[in-house]
Amino acid sequence: MTTPEPLLLSVSGIDKIFPGVKALDGVDFDLRAGEVHALLGENGAGKSTLVKILTGIHGKDKGSIKVLGEEVAFANSAAAREKGIAAIYQEFALATHLDVGTNIFLGRIPNHAWFIADRRQVYQDAQKLLDRLKSGIDAHTRVAELGVGKRQMVEIAKAISMGTRILIMDEPTSALSSEECGHLFQIITDLKQQGIGIIFISHKLDEIHRICDRVSVMRDGRKVGTLDAGDISVPEIIRLMVGREIGDQYYKRDVEKGEVTLEVRGLSDATFLRDISFTVRKGEILGLAGLVGAGRTETAQCLFGVTPIQRGEILVDGKAVRINSPGDAVANGIVMLSEDRKNTGLFLQQSVTFNVTIAAMNAARSRQEYYHLGCVDVGNQRQHTSEYVNRLSIKTPSIDQIMRNLSGGNQQKTILAKWLLVNPRVIIFDEPTRGIDVGAKQEIYRLMHELLQAGMAIIMISSELPEIMALSDRILVISHGRATGVLDRSEATQEKIMTLAVK
Ligand SMILES: Nc1ncnc2c1ncn2[C@@H]1O[C@H](COP(=O)(O)OP(=O)(O)OP(=O)(O)O)[C@@H](O)[C@H]1O
Ligand SMILES: [Mg+2]
């Protein structure tokens, strides 16, 4: 019999109360050296809150945390780092204007670092770490020049350089390409071998069996179970998470198609897109497929007036329209749910009500509903917000809650509510289910169906091929800024899409 690995971390009976929400309720959790322990649960279940307590960002109301058997209490994240705990968040904490080497040792570069020799040492040490991760990054590169995947590697290198033994990754793969995910998993395997314990949070359940040893599931602030990953299937994980069967994950039903709502002719931007043409009909989902960087988001940004159009025409209901700003796009009934949560125009310091109604109150097509005799009609504002909070199951103690306090996935749903309220003709969903839990994903697919039934047209960008294939009526494939083909739902296969994607 082998002796079990020592417990790096053991957490018991943790409570955390925010005004109106018991975010954590008697949570137990532990982590062994050299294991990957998945922490799963619906949006708002309490995963990130637990992470923030373990990294000293929030205090706990009750319970105990032991690191290698020793009781600890963290006043701040520096105190947690000292005990070997570090976290990598989706929104990175790097100084983008500085180079990689400086970032890795930021705040720890020795005082006498003005001597050239010591600075050289910093870069040498940083480079060694980066090479160990096979990152292909030069320590002198400015962080601003790196993509998401590489920035994440810098964060990991930084964590290792601090002697981290407990590494927490909160949705690390949600913005990575499948190739970058593969590389990350390789790194995780190496870290395990060095005895580092990893807490891994993700909504992509197919990843669990690839890299995790154990799985803990949370629901409504409680832990509902911990199991060996080998002993549990994905449907069982889902049942634990959601508390019910969700059946067919992708919800797709036939909807009658109408006229062409949106037509794009020969669209080019100043730098990258060349001569893209397509149509979307009433009641139809057009999927945009392609590799990361192929030009899908750029196309959407032209339609939404974020990037100027150099050549080409956009027609809504057969009429040519000019779109020079998002305001123009909204006025013509085109809205976009962008992939980047941080830059989605959420007002994080404002309330849910403010965020849900802001666009509708400013859009000519809907503003009259919110003003009465020249004053803001607060009643209508609140009523519409409540309606959409219910309809999208946005988890918040009240519609007056400050946006910042909502969990990541619930912030995403709020943006969707905001756009639905302007009653658009065409909705562009860019990676609509990123960071969204399985149950809520299905709700979003159902909602798409309702929107189609109500006569809207949908453009959906997704890097998840199964999602694109299950939901799209037609698939437009983009490669190197050009449209390389359109596939009908009935003929689309992964191979055909990939062939067009690399053309
Ligand atoms: N600073 C805060 N103030 C008030 N409420 C908060 C705060 N942080 C989190 N909450 C609430 O605590 C609950 C748990 O949120 P948490 O961010 O931990 O969820 P999560 O499991 O990480 O969800 P997701 O998968 O969407 O990221 C939610 O109801 C959230 O609204
Ligand atoms: Mg979270």
C-alpha dihedral (447, 434, 216, 1), degrees to nearest 10: 130
241 within ligand 1 shell (Cβ under 6 A): no
Asked if 461 contacts 477 with a C-beta cutoff of 8 angstroms, the reply is no
Residue 295 confidence class, pLDDT cut points 50, 70, 90? very high
Mean local confidence (pLDDT), 18-47: 95
Alpha-carbon Rg for the chain in angstroms: 24
DSSP assignment of 112-133, as one string? TTTSHHHHHHHHHHHHHHHHHT
Question: Which tens digit of pLDDT belongs to each residue from 137-172?
Answer: 999 999 989 888 899 999 999 999 999 999 999 999
Mean local confidence (pLDDT), 427-444: 87
Q: The pTM is what?
A: 0.83
24 within ligand 1 shell (Cβ under 6 A): no
The pLDDT, as a whole number, for residue 56 is 95
* Cα 268 to Cα 310: distance, rounded to the nearest angstrom: 6
The pLDDT, as a whole number, for residue 117 is 56
| Nearest residue (CA) to ligand 1, atom 9 | 405
Question: Which tens digit of pLDDT belongs to each residue from 334-356?
Answer: 999 876 655 567 888 999 999 99
411 within ligand 1 shell (Cβ under 6 A): no
The pLDDT, as a whole number, for residue 71 is 95
**How many CB atoms are closer than 10 A to CB 156?**
25
- Tell me which ligand sits closest to the C-alpha of residue 204: 1
Place of tokens 């039934």: 453
Phi-psi map region of 169: left, alpha, beta (phi>0 left; psi -120 to 50 alpha)? beta
What's the burial of 137, exposed, middle or buried (CB within 10 Å: 0-12/13-18/19+)? buried
Question: Which tens digit of pLDDT belongs to each residue from 204-249?
Answer: 998 999 999 999 999 999 999 999 999 999 989 999 998 877 777 8
Residue 291 confidence class, pLDDT cut points 50, 70, 90? confident
CA-based nearest residue to 298, from 488, 491, 478, 91: 478
**321-342: b or e for each residue (b if 16 or more CB lie within 10 Å)?**
bebeebeebbbbbbbbbbbebe
Residue 444, beta-bridge partner list = none
The pLDDT, as a whole number, for residue 113 is 52
Question: Which tens digit of pLDDT belongs to each residue from 369-420?
Answer: 888 888 888 899 999 999 999 988 899 999 999 999 998 788 888 988 998 9
The pLDDT, as a whole number, for residue 165 is 96
44 within ligand 1 shell (Cβ under 6 A): yes
DSSP 3-state of 321: strand
Sheet holding 309-316, edge to edge: 276-281, 260-269, 309-316, 319-321
The pLDDT, as a whole number, for residue 365 is 74
Question: Which domains does the chain possess?
Answer: 7-242 (3.40.50.300), 246-333+424-503 (3.40.50.300), 347-423 (no CATH)
Half-sphere exposure of 488 (CA within 13 A, CB side): 2
